Amino acid sequence: MLRSFLTQVHSFAGLISGVFILLMSLSGAALIFHEDIDRMQSPAIPNQGDTAVHINKLYTLVKQHYPDAQINHCQLPNAVNRPVVFSIYDVSYRSGKAVMQVFVDPGSGQILETRGGAEDIRNNFMSWLAAFHNSFHLGKTGEWLLGFLRGCFW
């Protein structure tokens, strides 16, 4: 009787830990390439030659479009057909409490696209995956659960 109960507990624990290891392995493997995958999600720009708007002008254009925004970060493109990405806090997006990304064409200064930052999971798969990998989207409860499960395996 005791042996049968222990076998069931062992099987159930193995199933739960196997699913946990599988999910953490797959999400961790994808997160290794997060910059490349995230770059594929940003809008591409047709090659316009060597013309480029100065970064100060791009900053001014973003500031004109979002006058109440606090510009937090600017990521310069690493390829010709990639946009400049401004990370801003603006009251028009979640009352200014979450990061919004603004994609700007470095050749024309045109705003191509905006999307929410790490909290906008509908538009940014890698942010969703990182949050899943770090907390199962359960907040502090997920962090505690992950800490417990990681402690069981390492």
pTM of structure = 0.56
- Number of helices and strands (H, E) in the chain? 5, 4
What type of residue sits at position 108? S
Tell me the two tokens of residue 121. Answer: 């999971």
Q: Tell me the longest C-alpha to C-alpha distance in the chain.
A: 79
Distance of CA 100 to the CA centre of its chain: 11
Report which secondary-structure segment, H or E, holds 139. Answer: none
**What local confidence, expressed as pLDDT, does residue 59 receive?**
93
Name, in order, each residue with C-beta under 8 angstroms of 69's C-beta and a sequence gap of 6 or more: 62, 63, 88, 89, 90
Contact between 86 and 101 under an 8 Å Cβ cutoff? The reply is yes
Q: In the chain, what are the domain boundaries?
A: 1-32+124-154, 47-120
Distance between CA 95 and CA 107 in Å, rounded? 31
Give, for all 154 residues of the chain, the pLDDT tens digit.
Answer: 778 899 999 999 889 888 888 998 999 998 898 777 777 776 666 655 566 788 899 999 999 999 988 888 898 887 777 888 898 888 777 676 677 888 898 888 889 888 874 445 445 677 778 778 888 888 788 888 888 877 876 6
Give the 3-state secondary structure of residue 12: helix
Distance between CA 68 and CA 55 in Å, rounded? 19
**What local confidence, expressed as pLDDT, does residue 50 receive?**
60
Span 47-120: which CATH code? 3.10.450
**What local confidence, expressed as pLDDT, does residue 37 receive?**
78
